Structure 1
Amino acid sequence: MIFNLGSINADHVYRLAQLPHAGETVTAQGYARLLGGKGANQSIAVARAGGQVVHIGAVGADGDWMVELLSADGVDVRHVRRDQGASGHAVVTVEQSGENAILIHAGANRALRIEDVEAALAEAGPGDWLMLQNETNVQVEAARMAQDRGMRVAYSAAPFDEAALRAVLPHVTLLMVNEGEAAQMTQAMGAVQVPMLCVTRGARGVLWTEAGCRDAVTIPARKVVPVDTTGAGDTLAGYLVAGLAAGLNPERALQGAVGAAALAVTRPGASGAIPLAAEVAAFLGQE
């Protein structure tokens, strides 16, 4: 079982010819309101990969539609709490090349309570996984609880926050960062030691290292024409943890995760772009 303490956001997505420069006003070519947030994206990725996932989070009174979408995808939403404040949201700008710039307001995602996590993890046991990102509060408390229960902790250190990383790191089994976050981490903290480290490097693929193993594993990126890169890292993270939880070795889990992320960037949106396991299998089988 996978438990995901994660953000749930309403993504306000604006499509542009080109991302604006400082002080520049541009006209959007399109707009959509979609389900997003690193946590929601990762939970949906786990579910579409075939994994069982319990989402731990919160939305405001305006967030019922997001919880319904999570549930429709097979995510267990019994531990998503309704808060009196506003739900989290993001302003996502996407240019024609597929590159994006994102502004996030945390909202209810930062109103989680320790008792919310305790209630959810009471159902967990040794060998289960807890997923974390940096878009909620109580990550450290959750990671500590998970470690005490014999769970494995997968942590996406994004958005990068040195203090958050230092606090959670002693409890982490799998650390997931992109190339930029890895550079920030090294500059701030030097070499970081964790049992498993996954670094996504865009077109150069994924680098995987494990404590005690001399050789790193490199999984090449799949060649696709990108439409929208929003949520690609979340797709990879969800598929990777789902694969590991299912007992796949890291290389096989990574191959599926890289294939899923490649398919996701060929489609617009975040959670809506995440492929099903059958689509990923077909895509990898064609290569």
Structure 2
Amino acid sequence: MAIWNLGSINLDLVYTLSRFPAPGETLAADQVDRFLGGKGANMSVAAARAGATVHHIGAVGPDGAEMVQKLSDFGVDTAKVAAANSPTGHAVIYVVANKDSKEKGENQIVLFPGANQDLTSEHVENAMAGATVGDIFVTQNETNMQVEACRLAAAKGLRVCYAAAPFDAGAVAAVLPYLDFLILNQVEAEQLFEATGKRAEELGIKDVIVTLGGDGARHIDGSTGKVSTFDAFDVEVVDTTGAGDTFTGYVLAGLDAGQSMDVAIKMASRAAAVMVTRRGTADVIPTLAEAKSADLK
């Protein structure tokens, strides 16, 4: 089996700060790092590090060779990554590292989509030519062609998953008819309710996961109505960037390997807990061995 991910590929510039700047303020950073990022790339790397076969569908600009090489080095198939004329997507990320700050470990992100919005229907169709019934398809709201790709994946008999971030109610509504699986955080779930008048359990989707940050996660089985809750691990948070993407990639890898939803979520929670103790994005997503062996409480 395999995971097919229509997802963003970004260069992440991460600035470590003592606190977030106030409007109009100039604040010196303590450190800057370059990482592979983008919600799509993060999920692909997480799924690959969890042991899945992952095909990434995306685009980079003339400046994107470094990002594609990193994806490949992390075990992701990059044969379906197209070359675009626009600059490669990138993000500027502020992370507070001051242990005495109430904002410690939190982040602020400014995103430039770039080549992530240059995908074509022809590219998506060609990229998914090898997908087969029972494979998993996932996408997020950082590229174009989401609806077309979800429709194609559903027609091919794939399990269609949408990670609803960055959140846009219209984007979620457009892909809902094709979804088997929706993952969103608590704030996004409330935004979706405000836009549609429906709670997560009322959407008619087979599986919904609502992530709750430090409070864990909730799974809603749309077939039975059963709601299961999963506690988060208590760790020293360094950087929350990419933790949700790590969780999603691990859940999908577990399901692709034939695990039950409960087992997949528990391992994904371990991986996400390890992730928040590290500084960075795709480059520092834990391997399956690291997630399994981590001393977590």
The TM-score, its normalising length taken from structure 1, stands at: 0.98
**AA matched with 1:169:** L
Alignment of structure 1 residues 171-182 onto 2, 5 Å: 171-182=178-189
Alpha-carbon displacement from aligned partner over 1:94-151 (angstroms, at most 9, x marks no partner): 0121100001000000000111111121101111011100000000000000000000
Alpha-carbon displacement from aligned partner over 1:200-245 (angstroms, at most 9, x marks no partner): 1011100000112232111100110010000000000000000011
SS of equivalent to 1:194: coil
Is the 8 Å Cα contact of residues 6 and 56 (structure 1) preserved in structure 2?
Answer: yes
Quick check: 1:252 aligned with 2:263?
yes
Question: 2:131: which partner in 1?
Answer: 124
Question: 2:214: which partner in 1?
Answer: 203
- The structural deviation recorded for 1:44 is 0.2
Identity, in percent, stands at 48
Is the 8 Å Cα contact of residues 208 and 218 (structure 1) preserved in structure 2?
Answer: yes
In 1, distance between residues paired with 2:25 and 2:190? Answer: 29
In 2, distance between residues paired with 1:15 and 1:247? Answer: 39
Kindly tell me the number of residue pairs found equivalent between the two proteins: 286
Question: 2:41: which partner in 1?
Answer: 40
Alpha-carbon displacement from aligned partner over 1:36-87 (angstroms, at most 9, x marks no partner): 0000000000000000000000000000000000001110000001111200
Where structure 2 has 5 or more consecutive residues not aligned to the other structure, the ranges are 98-103
- Pick aligned residue for 1:230 from 233, 238, 241: 241
- The structural deviation recorded for 1:21 is 2.5
Is the 8 Å Cα contact of residues 265 and 273 (structure 1) preserved in structure 2?
Answer: no
In 1, distance between residues paired with 2:218 and 2:51? Answer: 24
**AA matched with 1:75:** V
Quick check: 1:19 aligned with 2:20?
yes
In 2, distance between residues paired with 1:22 and 1:105? Answer: 20
**AA matched with 1:3:** W
Question: 2:72: which partner in 1?
Answer: 71
Question: 2:55: which partner in 1?
Answer: 54
In 2, distance between residues paired with 1:213 and 1:20? Answer: 47
- The structural deviation recorded for 1:22 is 2.3
**AA matched with 2:55:** V
In 2, distance between residues paired with 1:193 and 1:277? Answer: 32
SS of equivalent to 1:227: coil
SS of equivalent to 1:35: strand
**AA matched with 1:229:** T
**AA matched with 1:65:** E
In 2, distance between residues paired with 1:165 and 1:212? Answer: 20
Where structure 1 has 5 or more consecutive residues not aligned to the other structure, the ranges are none
SS of equivalent to 2:78: strand
Is the 8 Å Cα contact of residues 47 and 73 (structure 1) preserved in structure 2?
Answer: yes
- The structural deviation recorded for 1:19 is 1.1
SS of equivalent to 1:76: coil
Is the 8 Å Cα contact of residues 61 and 84 (structure 1) preserved in structure 2?
Answer: yes
SS of equivalent to 1:182: helix
- The structural deviation recorded for 1:27 is 1.1
Quick check: 1:242 aligned with 2:243?
no
Change (3 A) 1:214 1:85: closer
In 1, distance between residues paired with 2:155 and 2:144? Answer: 19
The TM-score, its normalising length taken from structure 2, stands at: 0.94
In 1, distance between residues paired with 2:220 and 2:54? Answer: 25
- The structural deviation recorded for 1:193 is 2.8
- The structural deviation recorded for 1:9 is 0.3
Quick check: 1:153 aligned with 2:164?
no
In 2, distance between residues paired with 1:213 and 1:101? Answer: 38
In 2, distance between residues paired with 1:212 and 1:194? Answer: 8
- The structural deviation recorded for 1:10 is 0.4
